[in-house]
Amino acid sequence: MKRIFSICICMLVLGCIGNDKPKRPTNLISKADMETILYDLYIINGAKGVNGKLLENNGFLPETYILEKHGIDSLQFATSNDYYAFDTEQYKGIIENVKAKLEQKKGQLEALEKEKAEVAKRKRDSLRKKGKKKQDSIRKVMEKQKDTAKYKLQELSIDN
């Protein structure tokens, strides 16, 4: 047990040695672009989670699409991501900005969905009112015919 504990301590100490900040890549992606790329990756991964088979069946490769969309390669993204991720506070800021954009988009989509639901409800209500008016007008005609028939029967019974 002591041996395992001391091995773990040695690995921890050795693991911490040499953790210098990575050198700034020559083709470093700007923070703003990194936020946009990460935002797109989160959106695509969400779509992949919902319709993964559909994307797969159509030969859509999400990661490749994002890299091509932003004109970068996987190595450039990986080195830039490593560079930003080393400084956890800086990376946390990037992730917070991405999260804020996602929340804003979510709010917009929820508002749009609510508006669509209200339009559909108004349409249903309008159709229901139209149908009720039609039923009411048919009922009035039927009652009028019924009253006319009653009146004619009364006339016939009076005449007889």
Helix/strand/coil (H/E/C) assignment for every residue in the chain: CHHHHHHHHHHHHHHHCCCCCCCCCCCCCCHHHHHHHHHHHHHHHHHHHHHHHHHHHCCCCHHHHHHHHHCCCHHHHHHHHHHHHHCHHHHHHHHHHHHHHHHHHHHHHHHHHHHHHHHHHHHHHHHHHHHHHHHHHHHHHHHHHHHHHHHHHHHHHHHC
Q: Which is more confident, 116 or 58?
A: 116
Whether this prediction's pTM lies above 0.85 is answered by no
pLDDT confidence tier of residue 2, bands split at 50, 70 and 90 = very low
Over the stretch 62-104, which tens digit does the pLDDT of each residue have?
A: 788 888 899 998 889 889 989 988 888 889 999 999 999 999 9
Confidence check: pLDDT of 149 > 80: no
pLDDT of residue 51: 75
What residue type is assigned to position 38 of the chain? L
Give pLDDT tens digits for 13-65: 545 555 677 788 888 999 999 999 999 988 888 877 777 777 777 777 778 88
Instruction: Report which of 89, 82, 93, 91 is spatially closest to residue 20, judged by C-alpha positions.
Output: 82
Looking at per-residue confidence, does 31 or 10 come out higher?
31
Maximum Cα–Cα distance across the chain = 122
